[in-house]
Amino acid sequence: GAMVMFQVVVNINMTIGLGPITGIPLPWLSYGRSAMLVNFIGLGLCASVARRVKKQPFRS
């Protein structure tokens, strides 16, 4: 989530003129193949962890 939010914040800052123009692509929208691949791998890892974590009852 932090990786995607960083890309979104940097792109918004570039668009409204608050930050320098960099080569960071928009997540899941740009044509950068390697960036898109990394975004999908990260999303798959997060989904895999969320799926495998078993809910444990709270013990005090």
Show me where the domains of the chain are located: 2-52
Decide if 26 contacts 7 (C-beta within 8 A).
yes
**pLDDT for the residue 55:** 67
**pLDDT for the residue 56:** 63
User: Which tokens sit at 22?
Assistant: 């960099």
Task: Say what angle helices 33-52 and 2-16 make with each other, to 10 degrees.
Answer: 140
Which distant-in-sequence residues (6+ apart) come within 8 Å of 14 by Cβ?
A: 20, 21, 22
CA 39 vs CA 4, 24, 44, 55: distances in Å:
8, 12, 9, 27
pTM, full prediction: 0.57
Confidence at 58, pLDDT banded by 50, 70, 90 = low
Write the pLDDT tens digit of every residue in 9-56: 888 888 898 888 877 777 777 676 887 888 889 889 988 888 887 666
**pLDDT for the residue 59:** 63
